[in-house]
Amino acid sequence: MYCFSLLELVQLVKKTMMTTIDTHKVMRFSNARK
């Protein structure tokens, strides 16, 4: 089992959040263009 440090975990969550937000923006943008 891999042990995350708290800082690594926070960075990972932030990265995931940013990716999710970007994906939602792209999806909303493509939907708006239809």
Count of CB atoms situated within 10 Å of the CB of 29: 9
Q: Alpha helix (H) ranges present in 1-34? A: 6-33
Angle, CA of 14, 6 and 3, to the nearest 5°: 110
In angstroms, the CA 4 to CA 6 distance is 6
Whether the model pTM is above 0.75: no
Q: Where are the domains of the chain?
A: 1-34
Q: Please name the residues in contact with 4: beta carbons below 8 A apart, sequence gap of 6 or more.
A: 12
- Per-residue model confidence as pLDDT tens digits over 16-31: 999 999 999 988 988 8
pLDDT of residue 14: 95
Model confidence at 11: pLDDT above 90: yes
Mean pLDDT of the chain: 86
